Structure 1
């Protein structure tokens, strides 16, 4: 397929957070290469990707998307690995397999099964995510790393505060709250070992009470609930960098968070756990790593290292070199475009196999009291 013939439908559980950030970079890059895209999610809103989608954005009912698929409006369907396990999305993907080649991408480093749906290509954002993806086939997932929006996330002047800042950005309380491990950071605040730093938490939702920020940590954390614009985050990364601080990730298994990549691109040092999915960060080279098994006790050591201006400057320079090289957006976009172009059109055999999968799926969910596609 030529670029003009590639029409991609992205299927995700919700357009927000890291998924929204990746889609924004990928869809903009594809559009610049003549590829038209659309997005479907059962909940949420179009977010920043809405204006970029030439083929539309659908939120809620899958029926309009199913009709567009049957009409042949999409030549490729690209889903995240969380979708097959979702009843409604699983049925939509089995329906989509009748009409278009299918790609799935895994972003997490914990075992993730996608055998509910027959995919043509498997991709993952890291080697660890690829190893954890359970496909039910002999196919080896292709590793395509995420990339930050390097056109917006750039180094620049910042305003230094009275004390260095330690910045955490994300959704603090979620269904996978233990994987975020923000409570480990809060325990360090409570113990007083971070007394020389202003700890800033940017939380997409207001979880102050759940986190104990109005109780045992009252007044000890600069807590800012609500979604920040990308421009506001970039300014914050620059301010943190100017004041001698760093961005910290406490992620356990969700892979390389986009906020880490964006901070690196903006010239802000990053401190990440020595956990699966963070292989792109080399300790002491383009970032600093701490061993999670030490109950976060190595974080103060990382902060002390960053006080050395030579170490700090070297880490920032190497991080910017990484962004300009292996995690540049063009590299990510071109890799996915090669995958899309390599997909064969649907043959009669493909359609028969997909029809069988669809029938099996419908029968299975009927036995389980399903019927989700009708919704």
Structure 2
């Protein structure tokens, strides 16, 4: 099959022919229909985070089940599915206490060192990025990386639920659990930020302030449910939000993955407010906060993939889309073939568009 291979940071991905094994016990072979280009992938391409190479990146995917290994339950040939990087074992302390996204036995869902690799490039095994490896015509994954969805859901939009929607909307509804009428600020209006805005609107937030430096993204934010927008290129976003809310928001969400914006999310809180950092701040960077604000009952927290229970959450998000409440159509700015993956990431670096999606012939 064809796949985009990541060899080392700073280099373009290469389109090559790779070998994929047949599914073993509890494994599923999926024909990839669509996979989104996410900033998380870009962090590894740019060397901000490290991964074993050579590797197939890509983790925001949807497709159709082609083959099933032994002992797989709840899936059948032809099922439409979304994959999720929150692969879970199902029996560790986290999985059995309602925190599968924090599973610490994910190694049990992978093949052993003496087993044949799932993916290989010639005689070299390929690293299975996030246990998914979505930038390929097929994916071979553990059954606990997959959820079945209704067949009338368009798969290019379903792919976005695999990361952007689950991460952004989940941070609002699962991690922060905002109440009806809450005041909310979201910094960064890419796919994750727009999903956070959309999630806040669905959850009944009273006021949703979107912050970005791109006017086009701020226009999108309004379409996704923002009641107010702040262009951070023109004004200080903290001062603007404090002035608009007479002292700060109850909940802020950082969806860019930058030290400066994470600190801004903290500064724009009111007393007893909660800031949730969704984005991947580069490894090694430290956040600086005023500890006096802790005495005002402010909270700073992270969110691991939207604190998801994806087998439950993702089908619900599909239903929201089909009911016209989750606005995925406008999130996709460009559909490209696998061969244009590098150009897609250049667009992502510039920050011009919300989401580009690689689509495969079906």
More strand by share: 2
Same fold (TM over 0.5): no
Q: So what's the TM-score if we normalise by structure 1? A: 0.31
More helix by share: 1
Q: So what's the TM-score if we normalise by structure 2? A: 0.32
